[in-house]
Amino acid sequence: MSWQESSREAAPSSSSSAGGEQGGSVLPTRPIWKSIRRGFFGRCPNCNRGKMFRAFLKVADRCAVCDEALHHHRADDAPAYFVILIVGHLVVPLVLVVEVAYAPPYWLHAALWLPLTIGLAVGLLQPIKGAIVGWQWANYMHGFDPDGGDDAAAEIES
């Protein structure tokens, strides 16, 4: 998964931004958890006033309020991965507990868990994508790093 590999590549640049002992521009430290939370609620990680998304799951190219570039994100399939992880760990134990405790008919299982699974997955996908974009922004990952250049070319070289 490219987003994980890139996070390791980006680590030296973010630590150098904190220390500032290396060449290149000194980047201010960005608050990671605050950026993740802002992204989770669909807000610009920089100003918390503009919207991160221009449509469902479509990240805006720039924040309409502070003009921060948001198109550099590379969330890729990480949001779907985390949604499956979270929803699976919620729904599967619930199914097992209800089956053991009440042994309801299968039609009732289907009526309960299918809408819950679909609803949770659709409802969590955009907040989790926003959180990942906020995390990438806070860590200067990919094109968010002004010293990084073309991250697509860097990934091909590595």
Residues that bind Zn ion (CB under 5 A): 44, 46-47, 50, 63, 65-66, 68
Q: Are 17 and 28 in contact (CB under 8 A)?
A: yes
Q: Are 40 and 18 in contact (CB under 8 A)?
A: no
From the CB of residue 37, how many other CB atoms can be counted at a distance below 10 Å?
16
Radius of gyration of the chain (CA): 19
| 25 token code pair | 């521009």
Cα–Cα distance, 130 to 127 (Å, whole number)? 5
> Cβ 19 to Zn ion, closest distance in Å?
27
Nearer to Zn ion, 83 or 140 (CB): 140
Nearer to Zn ion, 60 or 121 (CB): 60
Nearer to Zn ion, 53 or 81 (CB): 53
> Cβ 96 to Zn ion, closest distance in Å?
44
Nearer to Zn ion, 69 or 154 (CB): 69
Cα–Cα distance, 139 to 48 (Å, whole number)? 17
DSSP 65: T
> Cβ 143 to Zn ion, closest distance in Å?
16
> Cβ 86 to Zn ion, closest distance in Å?
27
